[in-house]
Amino acid sequence: MQPRIAGRNFLFVPGPTNVPDRVQRAMMVAMEDHRSSKFPELSTSVLHDLKKVFKTEAGQAFIFPSSGTGAWEAALTNTLSPGDKILAARFGQFSHLWIDMAQRLGFDVQVVEVEWGEGVPLQRYEEILRADQRHEIKGVLACHNETATGVTSDIAGVRRALNAADHPALLYVDAVSSLASIDFRMDDWQVDLAVSGSQKGLMLPAGLGIVCASPKALVARESARCPRVFFDFGDMLRANAGGYFPYTPSLPMLYGLRESLAIMFEEGLDNIFARHHRLAEGVRAAVRAWGLKLCARAPKWHSDTVSAILVPEGTNGADVIDVAYRRYNLALGAGLARMAGKLFRIGHLGDLNELMLLGAIAGTEMAMRDVGIQVTPGSGVAAAAEYYRGTAAPLPARTAAPQSPDATQPAGKAAPRATVRA
Ligand code: PLP
């Protein structure tokens, strides 16, 4: 058995992320009747407010008791028929897994292989779509934020490629590790199926698979012939219309979602995106100061939710992760599939701030030195800290002078020391 390490675990995997105390408390509820007359208040409010997070007015939100993987499946099976042609790019473990799912579901997937460290190849997509004169491609997949490599793709650019080719295919976007952390605009980008999960930017435990479907996607549903039962949009639409679910929903998760939406609206989506960008820039400053490189090959691919950091030749990223976890109580993300051992990842999304990240950067730096990676002690922490200091928002003027405990006494009549209460 491992010895207990005191203090909080530093959770810096790119999901699950820290669940705010407010959300945890909101989830501590007695079970209720999910068919009661009161239940629709909760369900209709979360379904309505989720749309704001996707930035859609026209779209329809669906909440499944699943993870992001279930939401991938729901998006595909509700809108396509067996054998349909799909265009997708593979540039990391999650874009790969979605392709793998599409193939196993019986779709004909045209896969564009891309270097891991780059994102959706817009030019190539446009060429393929232009060449598809008979519009055989029914769906175009794009992973907005490839969590395995820390790469963000240009979804507006994918929409432009579709429009330039005047192609009617549905646009499917994996927003699992971007939603509520990196700007996502379902309506502006005319995304047809946007897929996400609860355990990342939404600051909840894993357990909800969330999909938003455009009106065009809902029309496609009517002729889509893939079998589906648990993930059927039709059953969900009928039940949701009255404020209910076709099966037993997870009440704590829905109460948690209600609270996390409230927290997000209090901060404001644009402020959340700006916070994620600034925190990520600090991590990138630390990586530069360490003399290391990101897996993302160019700044245009840099992800504001996760940094995948390549370790030097002859060292193993898994060793950094192991020491960080066992010695410093810091959880870092692993290199997945072909990136195993070559990198480790710092997740920087959800409910976090500068000092939390500086703790993670310090622990990473210590663990790297422990396993023989020669980074200068304190270099990453100093670079990130200075970046955060230099970019901090000006403090509002203080409205009142700080009070000392005896400040209320008239001048010259300070209370004797013994009577001052803390
Ligand atoms: N897509 C991306 C980009 C992810 O990062 C993940 C999980 O990390 C998934 C899909 C799969 O989601 P889940 O693990 O919730 O099924």
Where does the pLDDT of residue 16 fall: very low under 50, low under 70, confident under 90, or very high at 90 and above?
very high
Rounded CA separation 292/310 (Å): 7
- Over the stretch 73-102, which tens digit does the pLDDT of each residue have? 999 999 999 999 999 999 999 999 999 999
Cβ 20 under 6 angstroms from ligand 1: no
Q: What's the predicted TM-score (pTM) here?
A: 0.95
DSSP assigned state of 171: E
Per-residue tokens: 417: 């020391």
Where does the pLDDT of residue 143 fall: very low under 50, low under 70, confident under 90, or very high at 90 and above?
very high
DSSP structure string for 253-312: HHHHHHHHHHHHHHH-HHHHHHHHHHHHHHHHHHHHHHT-EESS-SGGGB-SSEEEEEPP
Neighbours of 98 (CB within 10 A): 27
Contacts 24+ apart (CB under 8 A), 259-262: 259/20, 259/22, 259/23, 259/25, 259/26, 259/27, 260/20, 260/23, 260/202, 260/203, 260/204, 261/46, 261/49, 261/50, 261/53
Where does the pLDDT of residue 118 fall: very low under 50, low under 70, confident under 90, or very high at 90 and above?
very high
Cβ 143 under 6 angstroms from ligand 1: yes
- Over the stretch 144-196, which tens digit does the pLDDT of each residue have? 999 999 999 999 999 999 999 999 999 999 999 999 999 999 999 999 999 99
Short-list 196, 225, 228, CA closest to 212: 196
93 Cα to the center of ligand 1, angstroms: 9
Rounded CA separation 130/122 (Å): 12
Q: pLDDT value at position 421?
A: 41
Q: pLDDT value at position 419?
A: 40
405 Cα to the center of ligand 1, angstroms: 52
- Over the stretch 198-227, which tens digit does the pLDDT of each residue have? 999 999 999 999 999 999 999 999 999 999
Q: pLDDT value at position 407?
A: 61
151 Cα to the center of ligand 1, angstroms: 14
DSSP assigned state of 174: E
Ligand 1 pocket mutation, candidates 17, 69, 182, 336, criterion most atoms within 8 A of CB: 69
Q: Is the pLDDT of residue 129 over 80?
A: yes
- Ligand 1 atom, smallest distance to 209 CA: 15
Q: pLDDT value at position 5?
A: 84
70 Cα to the center of ligand 1, angstroms: 10
Cβ 121 under 6 angstroms from ligand 1: no
Where does the pLDDT of residue 4 fall: very low under 50, low under 70, confident under 90, or very high at 90 and above?
confident
Q: pLDDT value at position 418?
A: 43
Q: Average pLDDT, stretch 282-301? A: 98
Q: Is the pLDDT of residue 405 over 70?
A: no
Ligand 1 pocket mutation, candidates 17, 73, 147, criterion most atoms within 8 A of CB: 147
420 Cα to the center of ligand 1, angstroms: 56
Neighbours of 378 (CB within 10 A): 12
Q: Is the pLDDT of residue 411 over 60?
A: no
Where does the pLDDT of residue 412 fall: very low under 50, low under 70, confident under 90, or very high at 90 and above?
low
Where does the pLDDT of residue 1 fall: very low under 50, low under 70, confident under 90, or very high at 90 and above?
confident
- Ligand 1 atom, smallest distance to 148 CA: 5
Percent of the chain surpassing pLDDT 90:
93
- Over the stretch 20-57, which tens digit does the pLDDT of each residue have? 999 999 999 999 999 999 999 999 999 999 999 999 99
Rounded CA separation 186/253 (Å): 24
Cβ 388 under 6 angstroms from ligand 1: no
The secondary element (H helix, E strand) that includes residue 375 is: none
Per-residue tokens: 23: 């959300």
3-state secondary structure of 85: strand
Q: Is the pLDDT of residue 416 over 70?
A: no
207 Cα to the center of ligand 1, angstroms: 12
Q: What residue's CA is closest to ligand 1, atom 12?
A: 68
74 Cα to the center of ligand 1, angstroms: 14
Ligand 1 pocket mutation, candidates 96, 100, 176, criterion most atoms within 8 A of CB: 176
Q: What residue's CA is closest to ligand 1, atom 13?
A: 68
Q: Is the pLDDT of residue 420 over 60?
A: no
